[in-house]
């Protein structure tokens, strides 16, 4: 396998972008990415584009064709990949494999979702759960993650205050990210007093409905050196699946698919959790960040809540998590999220993260997750200065 | 890049399978494939599954998770890929790249679609066209291919009788395929007198609405040798995109994306069109087979129609096309079609095609297409006896 590097990134502002269609979102991110890399459109040989549901959100499938068309990337090879909210991570993995194989030198990994266009977002998102055994009975995602939260609280004593600490920290980080959907500070009281969505989760425990796109350009390390770019190498990649329905899992206080994907990524990278300088973690709900930090091995099981409350995951903490503001504050355009996490990892590793810059990180990790944990990807990137 | 082989195939019966859900279709094809290969579930490391629109047809996204879950393939890595009706071909290409890269030894390429479940199939399929500039104005796929047919007739003198010859030939081949949706012979009169759908295309110029799934198992050539399997090697692979909307193309009597994908596949394989012993071609409409055989270089431009009428594409002709019965007779579960074509190529190359067996073929080609030609894949397989 060839060693693969990231040589450019691009993303749109995340938010309720009512006047920007799906195709324009992708084109903006993809062209910004190529400009950042200093690579011409004609040099890119292939693209993988994560999108959860162009069909249900905006009535558009065949996304590889329409998105490359509007970005002026035809006639190159392109494929849309989908793994619900892990679609962006899956697109990055496929792009990595194509470059690693030797088939192509420049491959674009992108993600996009247009969620604000009139469709019923809650219904569309519910199609990431088991339609016949969960959704049919009325389950939606806040309900599924509320069950995980209740199980975690029961088993480990995790508190609403600890959940709230995740939201407060991520909103604080988001105030320093110009691409974030929300740019206001909140406090513990705001979260605890917010309208309830599904007990114990309130409005501020949930990530928002977001439009946006993100893209990265990948190439062999040898080509990246010729471009004179900072050397950000893909050191480890892991992906896994699990049962789609919560009722088929042995323990609701865990999300084992994340642990499995992480184990593969750590093994491939030859590193341990303590070696990673910061993580972008899939905080679709506050409880998800807590459980995922445990699955990633950043903290012992049951210690994710206290760690958040004690500030260990803050920008200046021992284990910074979601410096971008995470899904909670940056926003969660579901198909784009996995790529946006990797954009943040690249920006941090190359020292371009502005006010939210972590001091001289060497290793960054991005963890993306589909549904209530039916699929996950984990990527570990390293910068060589 | 490592050389990659196909070592097993599986598929369901194609048809209106009202009592079989999406998940069962995939599981049946995937497990039949592993049984055929003699490989255990636990040995498969990754899967790519083509599906055009689980969201619109049956309200289910996150297909990698649910399909692997029900096939008992968890916790392996899996991703759904989509490129409208070329989703199966795109899945096969991604699986090939993962094995070629060295990341995994056994990778499953599958495709599935559940089209008969109450959804409006014409609307769902239309999302493969440009939603804002074509579908909004009332265009559907029979209309788009009727425009291509009219342009081809006007430019080259192609006749309704020549279109009909494609349908008659494919129905004949389909009578010998136990997996085919239709198993009745038809004649030229049947096609010409059938109810009109979009002039000049009648009911028998159109492929049907179908449920079904197909799967192939890929591994390195060296591993295939150890398994003692017939050596069916992937010799060439090409993929391309084009404008999604017909109105952006220079010539409506051509489908250039197919020519581009084919050129890449021929170059990689180091073969010419005349070297290929038979082809599985994307005959979503009769005119599509005619134009695609021209784009693949089997016939000069404008000669596709006469070639069909003269029997050159028959099973015993000089250039057999669609020995399986094609989309027209075998059926067209859109996400599965690309894989089903490759299943037929494998069966023919290994001498397992029963009554429709072509005599000792060495090279087989499968061409899969999305929408009205917004994307395409071409794969060339070789058997070494």
Per-residue pLDDT reduced to its tens digit, A157-209: 999 999 999 999 999 999 999 999 999 999 999 999 999 999 999 999 999 99
Predicted pLDDT of residue B316: 97
| Cβ distance of A127 and B374 shorter than 8 Å | no
Pseudo-torsion of CA A303, A305, A310, A314, nearest 10°? 110
| CB nearest to B55's CB, from A55, A73, A81 | A55
Task: Give the percent of chain B with pLDDT over 70.
Answer: 100
**In sequence order, what are the residues at sequence separation of 6 or more whose Cβ sits closer than 8 angstroms to the Cβ of residue B223?**
B5, B7, B105, B106
| Chain A residues near residue B132 by CB distance under 8 angstroms | 21
Pairing relation of β-strands A46-50 and A107-113?
parallel
What distance in Å separates residue B360's CA from the closest CA in chain A? 31
Predicted pLDDT of residue B177: 98
What distance in Å separates residue A172's CA from the closest CA in chain B? 32
| Cβ distance of B90 and A64 shorter than 8 Å | yes
CB-side exposure of A108: number of CA atoms within 13 Å?
Answer: 42
Using CA atoms, how far residue B160 sits from B149, B246, B317, in Å, is 9, 22, 21
In 3D space, the residue among B25, B177, B178, B181 whose CA is nearest the CA of residue B111 turns out to be: B25
* Rama region for A238: left / alpha / beta (φ>0; ψ in -120 to 50; rest): beta
* Rama region for A159: left / alpha / beta (φ>0; ψ in -120 to 50; rest): beta
Check: CB of residue A302 under 8 Å from CB of residue A156: yes
Domains A4-120+210-231 and A128-205+235-380 share a fold: yes
| Cβ distance of B65 and A244 shorter than 8 Å | yes
Predicted pLDDT of residue B195: 98
Predicted pLDDT of residue B229: 86
| Chain B residues near residue A94 by CB distance under 8 angstroms | 79, 81, 94, 97
What average pLDDT does this structure show over A210-227?
97
Please give the backbone phi and psi of residue A382, each rounded to the nearest 5 degrees, phi first. Answer: -130, 140
Residue of A33, A85, A206, A339 marked catalytic: A85
Q: Classify each residue of B32-56 as buried b or exposed e, where b means 16 or more C-beta atoms within 10 Å of its C-beta.
A: bbbebbebebeebbbbbbbbbbbbb
Predicted pLDDT of residue A385: 77
| Cβ distance of A129 and B69 shorter than 8 Å | no
| Cβ distance of A83 and B64 shorter than 8 Å | yes
A46 pLDDT band, cuts 50/70/90, is: very high
- SS3 annotation, chain A: CCCEEEEEEEECCCECCCCCCHHHHHHHHHHHHHHHHCCCHHHCCEEEEECCCHHHHHCCCCHHHHHHHHCCCCCCEEEEEEECECHHHHHHHHHHHHHHHCCCCCEEEEEEECCCCCCCHHHHHHCCCCCCCCHHHCCCHHHHHHHHHHHHHHHHCCCHHHHHHHHHHHHHHHCCCCCCCCCCCCCHHHHHHCCEEECCEEHHHECCCCEEEEEEEEEEHHHHHHHCCCEEEEEEEEEEECCCCHHHCCCCCCCHHHHHHHHHHHHHHCCCHHHCCEEECCCCEHHHHHHHHHHCCCCCCCCHHHHHHCCCCCCCCCCCECCCCHHHHHCCCCCCHHHHHHHHHHHHHCCCCHHHCCCCCCEEEEEEEECCCCEEEEEEEEEEC
What distance in Å separates residue A205's CA from the closest CA in chain B? 23
| Cβ distance of A135 and B79 shorter than 8 Å | no
Task: Give the percent of chain B with pLDDT over 90.
Answer: 99
What average pLDDT does this structure show over A254-261?
98
What average pLDDT does this structure show over B214-233?
95
Check: CB of residue B215 under 8 Å from CB of residue B32: yes
pLDDT in tens, B185-201: 999 999 999 999 999 99
What distance in Å separates residue A314's CA from the closest CA in chain B? 31
Predicted pLDDT of residue B107: 98
| Cβ distance of B243 and A132 shorter than 8 Å | no
| CB nearest to B98's CB, from A54, A97, A257 | A97
B103 pLDDT band, cuts 50/70/90, is: very high
| CB nearest to A103's CB, from B52, B100, B370 | B100
Residue of B152, B171, B172, B332 marked catalytic: B332
Residue of B nearest to A45 (CA): B240
Largest CA-CA distance found in chain A, in angstroms, rounded: 56
The tokens of A359 are what? 């001091």
Residue of B nearest to A240 (CA): B77
Q: Is B85 a catalytic residue?
A: yes
| Chain A residues near residue B128 by CB distance under 8 angstroms | 61-62
| Cβ distance of A79 and B90 shorter than 8 Å | yes
B332 pLDDT band, cuts 50/70/90, is: very high
Check: CB of residue B361 under 8 Å from CB of residue B278: yes
Q: Which helix (H) or strand (E) holds B383?
A: strand B375-384
Residues in chain A: 385
Pseudo-torsion of CA A132, A135, A138, A140, nearest 10°? 160
CATH 3.40.47.10 fits A128-205+235-380, yes or no: yes
| Cβ distance of A46 and B239 shorter than 8 Å | yes
Residue of A nearest to B68 (CA): A241
| CB nearest to A62's CB, from B60, B75, B128 | B128
Mean pLDDT for chain A overall: 97
| Cβ distance of A62 and B371 shorter than 8 Å | yes
| Cβ distance of B244 and A46 shorter than 8 Å | no
Pairing relation of β-strands B212-220 and B107-113?
antiparallel
Interface test with A, best of B244, B255, B376 (most A CBs within 10 A): B244
| Cβ distance of B244 and A69 shorter than 8 Å | yes
The answer to whether residue B100 scores a pLDDT higher than 90 is: yes
Provide the CATH topology of domain B4-120+210-231.
Peroxisomal Thiolase; Chain A, domain 1 (3.40.47)
CA distance A162 to A142: 18
Please list the alpha-helical segments (H only) found in B9-62: 22-37, 54-58
Superfamily grouping for domain B129-205+235-378: Thiolase/Chalcone synthase (3.40.47.10)
Predicted pLDDT of residue B305: 98
pLDDT in tens, B146-178: 999 999 999 999 999 999 999 999 999 999 999
Percentages of chain B per state (helix, strand, coil), in multiples of 5: 40, 20, 40
| Cβ distance of B75 and A129 shorter than 8 Å | no
| Chain B residues near residue A144 by CB distance under 8 angstroms | none
What average pLDDT does this structure show over B255-265?
98
| CB nearest to B66's CB, from A58, A69, A244 | A244
The answer to whether residue B385 scores a pLDDT higher than 80 is: no
The answer to whether residue A225 scores a pLDDT higher than 90 is: yes
CA distance A281 to A289: 6
**In sequence order, what are the residues at sequence separation of 6 or more whose Cβ sits closer than 8 angstroms to the Cβ of residue A299?**
A293, A307, A312, A319
Q: Is B62 a catalytic residue?
A: no
| Chain A residues near residue B63 by CB distance under 8 angstroms | 82
Using CA atoms, how far residue B295 sits from A161, B162, B254, in Å, is 64, 17, 8
**What angle do the packed helices B63-70 and B22-37 form, to 10 degrees?**
60
Residue at token pair 């088939």: A103
Check: CB of residue B128 under 8 Å from CB of residue B335: no
What distance in Å separates residue A267's CA from the closest CA in chain B? 13
Domain boundaries, chain B: 4-120+210-231, 129-205+235-378
Predicted pLDDT of residue B46: 98
Residue of A172, A332, A339, A379 marked catalytic: A332
pLDDT in tens, A267-281: 999 999 999 999 999
| CB nearest to A66's CB, from B53, B98, B244 | B244
What distance in Å separates residue B232's CA from the closest CA in chain A? 20
B376 pLDDT band, cuts 50/70/90, is: very high
A-B CB pairs within 8 A amount to: 219
The answer to whether residue B10 scores a pLDDT higher than 80 is: yes
Residue of A nearest to B376 (CA): A77
Check: CB of residue A21 under 8 Å from CB of residue A212: no
Mean pLDDT for chain B overall: 97
What average pLDDT does this structure show over B375-379?
98
| Chain B residues near residue A242 by CB distance under 8 angstroms | 65, 69, 74-75
| Chain A residues near residue B135 by CB distance under 8 angstroms | 59
A229 pLDDT band, cuts 50/70/90, is: confident
| Cβ distance of A82 and B61 shorter than 8 Å | yes
Task: Give the percent of chain A with pLDDT over 70.
Answer: 100
Task: Give the percent of chain A with pLDDT over 90.
Answer: 99
């Amino acid at each position: 396998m060839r060693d693969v590097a990231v040589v450019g990134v691009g993303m749109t502002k995340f938010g309720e972008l009512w006047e920007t269609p799906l195709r324009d979102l992708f084109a903006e991110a993809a062209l910004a990415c190529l400009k950042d890399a200093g690579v011409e459109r004609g040099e890119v040989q292939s693209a993988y584009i994560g999108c959860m549901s162009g069909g249900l959100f905006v009535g558009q499938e065949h996304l590889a064709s329409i998105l490359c068309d509007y970005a002026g990337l035809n006639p190159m090879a392109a494929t849309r990949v989908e793994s619900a909210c892990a679609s962006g991570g899956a697109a990055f993995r496929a792009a990595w494999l194509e470059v690693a194989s030797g088939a192509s030198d420049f491959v674009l990994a992108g993600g996009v979702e247009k969620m604000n266009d009139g469709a019923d977002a809650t219904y569309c998102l519910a199609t990431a759960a088991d339609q016949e055994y969960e959704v049919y009975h009325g389950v939606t995602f806040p309900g599924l993650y509320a069950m995980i939260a209740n199980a975690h609280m029961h088993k480990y004593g995790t508190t609403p205050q600890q959940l709230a600490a995740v939201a407060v920290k991520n909103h604080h980080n988001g105030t320093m990210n110009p691409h974030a959907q929300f740019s206001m500070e909140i406090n513990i009281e705001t979260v605890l007093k917010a309208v309830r969505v599904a007990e114990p989760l309130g409005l501020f425990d949930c990530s928002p409905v977001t439009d946006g796109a993100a893209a990265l350009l990948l190439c062999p390390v040898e080509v990246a050196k010729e471009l004179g770019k900072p050397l950000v190498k893909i050191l480890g990649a892991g992906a896994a699946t699990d049962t789609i329905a919560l009722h088929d899992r042995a323990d609701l206080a865990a999300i084992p698919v994340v642990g499995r994907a992480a184990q593969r990524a750590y093994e491939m990278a030859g590193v341990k959790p303590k070696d990673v300088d910061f993580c972008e973690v899939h905080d679709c709900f506050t409880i998800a960040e807590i459980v995922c930090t445990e699955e990633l091995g950043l903290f012992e099981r049951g210690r994710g809540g206290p760690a958040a409350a004690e500030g260990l995951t803050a920008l200046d903490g021992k284990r910074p998590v979601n410096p971008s503001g995470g899904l909670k504050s940056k926003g969660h355009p579901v198909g784009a999220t996995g790529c946006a996490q990797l954009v943040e990892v690249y920006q941090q590793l190359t020292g371009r993260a502005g006010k939210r810059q972590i001091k001289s990180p060497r290793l960054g990790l991005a963890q993306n997750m589909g549904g209530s944990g039916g699929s996950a990807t984990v990527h570990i990137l390293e910068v060589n200065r």
